[in-house]
Amino acid sequence: MYRIVYNKLICNNTYELLVEAPLVVEKCMPGQFVIVMSKEDSERIPLTIYDYDKKKGLLYLIYQVIGASTEELSTMKDNIFGVVGPLGNANEICANVDMFKGKRICYVAGGVGIAPVYPQVKFLKEHGFDVDVIYGAREANLLLIRDKIEKVVHKISYATDDGSFGIKGFVTDVLKKNIDKYDIVVAIGPVIMMKNVVLVTKEYNVKTIVSMNPLMVDGSGMCGACRCEVAGKPKFACIHGPEFDGFEVDFDLALKRLNVYKDEEKEKWQQMKKILEGGK
Amino acid sequence: MNDSKVKGRVQSANERVHNFDEVEFGYNEEEALKEANRCLQCKNPRCVQGCPVHIAIPEFIKCIKEKNFKKAYEVISDSSSLPAICGRVCPQEKQCESMCIKGLKGEAISIGALERYVATYALENNLSSTISKEKNGKNIAIVGSGPAGLSCAGELARAGFDVTIYEVLHKPGGVLVYGIPEFRLPKSIVQKEIDSLKKIGVKILCDVFIGNSLTIDDLREKYDAIFLGTGAGLPRFMGIEGENANQVFSANEVLTRINLMGAYKNDAKTPVKKGKVAYIIGGGNVAIDAVRSLKRLGVDARIMYRRSIEELPARKMEVEHAMEEGIPFEFLVNPKKILVDEDNNVVGMEVVNMKLGEKGEDGRASVEEDLSSLHTVSCDMVVMALGTSPNHTALKNSDIKLTDRSLIEVDGGKTSIDSVYAGGDAVTGAATVILAMEAGKNAAKEIIEQFKN
């Protein structure tokens, strides 16, 4: 059991969960993720690490309620059954700051993708980098953790689909205009956004790192559910990723593979809603 | 005189394809006595040589004859720490029973079924080998709670060591829990074996990914010795076109969802894909477990194996049970390509017939494709059960030596790093439960030796 400090709604269907998990945060690095389980019989949910306090052993996570298991997680109050991690590899830049000194870096985040972007930008600031961020969402009130991210960026630009904050348009519109300023782009968000970012960066041959979020079961390399096609070869996001060279990822395949369990998930969500209503 | 073995009672095939309850009921006392009485009590017992852990088989069978089941359990426990499991999952027909003198002219003694009977008796009567010595003050870390780790832990705890097992999943047991299905090895049996380890002081910490959460160096600071029983690793795929289609899964994924996550129950929170027609590619135990599990979920599940029935590596009993359950086996055929629709859904496979060639050094026939036989089969799900390749997350930042097959190199059970031992599939590549147990036990003996005095 892992003690919940808080598990609160921060916007729309998005929650912030703070949980005690000292063994997870002791060694964690930006870019890594964890798997959480609400109860003993729950699904294993992979979530990217958003923030951590190594001294206090606290782990910060942000998640969106998008199905049965995240719905269940949002109802957890005192403890959750499981947190395992850190899983996957650290972000390439954060893990090799000396190699990347002097590089001009831009992060592109979409929606809750800002959560895994935040610890990377914060880490890089602490290591002397000035990092720009382009952050997009459908509308203004879906932009998350603005106060936190603004404290660690060099410059941040916003884009919303409806123009309710920042420019009206997509993150790629902002990126296109500024692409000559950067040596490296890191894109984290919906697969379609990462695909579109790579379409821009590839044209200008700017190295691009993306973070994949496929379906996953064990998270330790045992099952292969999370495989992505990278440079024509299957790679496991849990062990070989979650970050890959954006030029090499087959995004169309990744998009299709996200739908593997769509029907089953719909059904489970209905079941879960009934269970949760019954419990009230 | 009719001297055929006492057949074990099983759930009828018609009935069991609709549930996940154990297929075999196991002997009752009468049956066990009758079967034990068939044993000739050879002076020079060949069966013992056939057993990877050299259980004193005639001796425990003699105890059964004398109805001294407690003593029989003690005899088995001298050599094996998980008899309830091995009695169920060992490939006896290739080990002890293959050597039985009775098998030359008739049917071998059902040693596995007798072992299982004794183990069941022990579990029901709460006999556990709690004989543990005084603590010797030495701390041992074990990485992985599968058969290698569990048997190593049991051996060490009984010898007075303080043992802590680290497990990455949320439940201990490794392949016994995520891999082998309920109908072959009830999870309550595994749980009882784990509970009996806890009773003798073994600590189990789940949710810890050694290599990431803690490194081997961290463990070396805290513990006097380490045993790595990290298991077989990453599931293999064929590398053919269409293999990343939506409904192509590893057998490990299918089994993990069903066994570890309980997806066979209607109210389970984790789903498992149920295609209409599923081909399971491979012929090992994992393939048979996957095909039988899917069959029980209402899928028209079939085996496709590139060699012939004689080469099937799976445990014989499981193959027989699968065939009784009406599972089609397609031999000497292999996929060349997985066919998908525009949404990346599986619609079939292009397959090719295979021809058996000369037997290689390992005694298995080589196979070769008959390209003139290329044809398609339709299906909407494909499950790859092709073995594994090593996963060395646990070894991160350590300079443990690997073999040219990228497995952990050991001398006996010792790795290239002082006081770090390894065994099981991480050392041998995918093998059997009993071999992993043996490796765990042997490493334990070496650890005990290291700390003598």
The ipTM assigned to this model is 0.94
pLDDT tens for chain B, residues 1 to 453? 568 999 999 999 999 999 999 999 999 999 999 999 999 999 999 999 999 889 999 999 999 999 999 999 999 988 887 889 988 988 898 899 999 999 988 999 999 999 999 999 998 898 876 566 788 999 999 999 999 999 999 989 989 999 999 999 999 999 999 999 999 999 999 998 899 889 889 999 999 999 999 999 999 999 999 999 999 899 999 999 999 999 999 999 999 999 999 999 988 999 999 999 999 999 999 999 999 999 999 999 999 999 999 999 999 999 999 999 999 999 999 999 999 999 999 999 999 999 998 887 777 788 999 999 999 999 999 999 999 988 999 998 888 999 999 999 999 999 999 999 999 999 998 888 889 999 999 999 999 999 986
Q: Which residues of chain B make contact with A23, given a CB cutoff of 8 A?
A: 207-208, 213-214
Chain B residue with CA closest to A87: the answer is: B212
Q: List the single residue in A26, A85, A223 with the smallest CB-CB distance to B253.
A: A223
Apex A90 CA angle, A111 and B144, nearest 5? 115
Q: List the single residue in A26, A86, A224 with the smallest CB-CB distance to B235.
A: A224
Q: Say if residues A113 and A133 touch (Cβ distance below 8 Å).
A: no
Output the pLDDT for position B132: 62
Distance, CA of B383 to CA of B43 (rounded, Å)? 47
> Which of 3.20.20.70, 1.10.760.10, 1.10.1060.10, 1.20.140.10 would CATH assign to domain B13-124?
1.10.1060.10
Output the pLDDT for position A144: 94
Output the pLDDT for position B78: 84
Q: List the single residue in A37, A267, A271 with the smallest CB-CB distance to B170.
A: A37
Yes or no, beta carbons of B249 and A224 under 8 Å apart: yes
> Which amino acid, B266?
N
Q: List the single residue in B213, B214, B256 with the smallest CB-CB distance to A217.
A: B256
Q: Does B396 touch chain A (CB under 8 A)?
A: no
Q: Say if residues A16 and A6 touch (Cβ distance below 8 Å).
A: yes
Output the pLDDT for position B158: 87
Yes or no, beta carbons of A82 and B170 under 8 Å apart: yes
Instruction: Give me the total of CB pairs closer than 8 Å, taking one residue from chain A and one from chain B.
Output: 123
Interface test with A, best of B167, B191, B209 (most A CBs within 10 A): B209
Q: Say if residues B452 and B423 touch (Cβ distance below 8 Å).
A: no
Output the pLDDT for position B2: 65
Output the pLDDT for position B453: 67
Q: Which residues of chain B make contact with A84, given a CB cutoff of 8 A?
A: 168-170, 206-209, 213
Name the minimum distance, in Å, from the CA of B385 to any CA of chain A.
11
A41-55, A110-124, A257-271: least confidently modelled range: A257-271
**pLDDT(A110) > 70:** yes
Instruction: Read off the pTM.
Output: 0.94
Pairing of strands A184-188, A105-110: parallel
Longest CA–CA span in chain A (Å) reads 57
Q: Does A225 touch chain B (CB under 8 A)?
A: yes
Confirm whether B13-124 and B139-233+390-450 share one CATH topology.
no
Name the minimum distance, in Å, from the CA of B271 to any CA of chain A.
6
Q: Of B195, B46, B25, nearest to B108 (Cα)?
A: B46
Output the pLDDT for position B3: 82
Q: Say if residues B403 and B409 touch (Cβ distance below 8 Å).
A: yes
Residues 144-183 of B with CB under 8 A from A: 168-170, 178
Residues 10-29 of A with CB under 8 A from B: 23-24, 26-27
Whole-Å CA distances, A232 to A100, A125, A241, A260: 27, 35, 15, 20
Per-residue confidence at A136, pLDDT binned at 50, 70, 90?
very high
Report domain extents, chain B.
13-124, 139-233+390-450, 237-384
Residues 249-278 of A with CB under 8 A from B: 250, 253, 256-257, 259-261, 264-265, 267-268, 271-272
Averaged pLDDT score across all residues of chain A: 95
Which residues are CB-neighbours of B392 under 8 A, at least 6 positions away? Answer: B211, B233, B402, B406
Domains and CATH numbers, chain A: 2-87 (2.40.30.10), 92-211 (3.40.50.80)
Q: Of B50, B75, B51, nearest to B61 (Cα)?
A: B75
Q: Say if residues A225 and B253 touch (Cβ distance below 8 Å).
A: yes
Distance, CA of A242 to CA of A12 (rounded, Å)? 27
> Which of 3.50.50.60, 1.10.10.410, 1.10.3720.10, 3.30.1330.10 would CATH assign to domain B139-233+390-450?
3.50.50.60
Per-residue confidence at A32, pLDDT binned at 50, 70, 90?
very high
Mention the CATH class of domain B237-384.
alpha beta
Output the pLDDT for position B401: 94
Distance, CA of B255 to CA of B81 (rounded, Å)? 25
Q: Of B35, B16, B420, nearest to B219 (Cα)?
A: B420
Output the pLDDT for position B129: 62
Distance, CA of A262 to CA of B266 (rounded, Å)? 17
Chain B residue with CA closest to A42: the answer is: B269
